Amino acid sequence: MLALIQRVREAKVVVAGRTVGEIGAGLLVLLCAERGDGEAQADKLLAKLLKLRIFSDEAGKMNRSVQDVAGGLLLVSQFTLAADTSGGNRPSFTNAAPPEEGRRLYEWFVVQARAAHAVVQTGEFGADMQVHLVNDGPVTIPLVVRPGL
């Protein structure tokens, strides 16, 4: 599974003019399931995400996790993270999980996140979404968990 993590001061997802998910300070997580991914990869990615120390402590060092600071999570499905541009200028998305499998793993991830963390909001799987955010830092970090790793 792939994730692009952005530390935010605030973020929201809008679908057809209505806000479907919104958080204050925390992490905006763009999430992509790839072919061959399963619950094990989702669980490992979530564990890493919740413990990732990218929030500042009193000394200004990145030493606190989203759980330490009681920040929000905004989880947004984004199959385009699996883009392969090696064959030319038009990206191929064949590495992304098929839509039904991608949805299943995204929904699994959301359920597990809600069981482990107090504030979890989401986008809408497969929708045309507008994502608004104020990146804090900026801090943007890619996370990758593949089968067998």
Neighbour-count burial of 83, counting CB atoms closer than 10 A to its CB (0-12 exposed, 13-18 middle, 19+ buried): middle
> Which of 111, 107, 113 lies closest to 5, judged by CA?
113
Which of 55, 79, 109, 125 does the annotation list as catalytic?
79
**Catalytic-residue membership of 85:** no
> Which of 109, 27, 127 lies closest to 68, judged by CA?
27
CB 65 within 8 A of CB 55: yes
CB 76 within 8 A of CB 13: yes
**Catalytic-residue membership of 112:** no
CA triplet 97, 14, 139: central angle to 5 degrees? 70
**Catalytic-residue membership of 79:** yes
Which of 6, 41, 55, 78 does the annotation list as catalytic?
78
CB 26 within 8 A of CB 119: yes
| Residues acting as catalytic residues | 78-80
